[in-house]
Amino acid sequence: MTTTIGIIGSGNIGGTLAIALTRAGHEVVVANSRGPESLGAVVAELGDLASAGTVAEAAHAGEIVVVAVPLWALASIPSDLLEGRIVIDTNNYYPGRDGAIAELDARETTTSELVARHFAGARVVKAFNHIPAREILTHAQPAGSDGRRALAVYADDADARDRVAALIDEIGFDVVDGGALTDSWRIERDQPGYIPHFTVEQLRGKLAEAQR
Ligand SMILES: NC(=O)c1ccc[n+]([C@@H]2O[C@H](COP(=O)([O-])OP(=O)(O)OC[C@H]3O[C@@H](n4cnc5c(N)ncnc54)[C@H](OP(=O)(O)O)[C@@H]3O)[C@@H](O)[C@H]2O)c1
């Protein structure tokens, strides 16, 4: 089934997800901070399934919206914009880039819970934070392939999690359900599951090994 997916942030991860999702037959509406006119070349390369929009247009394009802006930029996106949407949160916290965030440094919360808190009423699913963007294209394999890479998802809303898991499978990866957003620290930066290629069994092991 073709879905229209908004993508807010069209850099490394947003731009690569736009390629993967259009290749899988989905429509995408991509947005960045500079406005749709700056995305002409990007959408031309993506083909007929892609268009450029404002942040609000990407937010309202469909039920699923990828938020692929750096954590420091989150506050600049209106917090009521994604109410009721399934939000795919790709964020990581890099203090050198994002500035120090005391709650994260104190391990009191997770990046995805901060995203969920910011976007009131959104159904946030943490996904794609632990794969280098280019590998979304180069590591994709059809379902059932030997050694297929697994990606973790964390969500508080089971329906949102399942919808995102189905998309991840479609674009070439197995899925490990890690649990609720509060547990998503297990796949944050520098944890054992972060970055390398793991199969389902291996990734489950790495998530279990994680220490806060
Ligand atoms: N790079 C990776 O391989 C990778 C992999 C997994 C997860 N992540 C995480 O995903 C997040 C994004 O990383 P990235 O590497 O894709 O960043 P990036 O290449 O710097 O791209 C950031 C994008 O966000 C846009 N943006 C910034 N502020 C915005 C705003 N207020 N409204 C709309 N768009 C805005 C930028 O638009 P302009 O260019 O117009 O400013 C740009 O398109 C980070 O948390 C990162 O850690 C990255």
Ligand 1 within 6 A of 112 CB? no
Ligand 1 within 6 A of 109 CB? no
pLDDT at 130: 98
Q: How far is the CA of 145 from the centre of ligand 1 (A)?
A: 31
- Domains of the chain plus CATH, in order, are 4-209 (3.40.50.720)
CB of 77 within 8 A of CB of 100?
no
pLDDT at 89: 98
Pairing of strands 150-155, 64-67: unpaired
Ligand 1 within 6 A of 30 CB? no
Q: Which of 16, 19, 32, 138 for mutating ligand 1's site (highest number of atoms within 8 Å of CB)?
A: 32
Element (H, E) at 136: helix 135-138
Ligand 1 within 6 A of 35 CB? no
Q: What is the pTM of this model?
A: 0.98
pLDDT at 211: 98
Whose C-alpha lies nearest to ligand 1, atom 40? 33
**Apex 91 CA angle, 190 and 147, nearest 5:** 60
Q: How far is the CA of 59 from the centre of ligand 1 (A)?
A: 16
pLDDT at 1: 77
Ligand 1 within 6 A of 9 CB? yes
pLDDT at 82: 98
Low-confidence ranges of the chain (pLDDT < 70): none
Spatial distance between the Cα atoms of 134 and 155, rounded to a whole number of angstroms: 24
Atom of ligand 1 nearest to the CA of 73: 28
Atom of ligand 1 nearest to the CA of 32: 34
Average pLDDT, the chain: 97
pLDDT at 51: 98
Q: How far is the CA of 180 from the centre of ligand 1 (A)?
A: 24
Atom of ligand 1 nearest to the CA of 133: 3
Spatial distance between the Cα atoms of 174 and 143, rounded to a whole number of angstroms: 7
pLDDT at 8: 98
The residue assigned the tokens 């420091």 is: 72
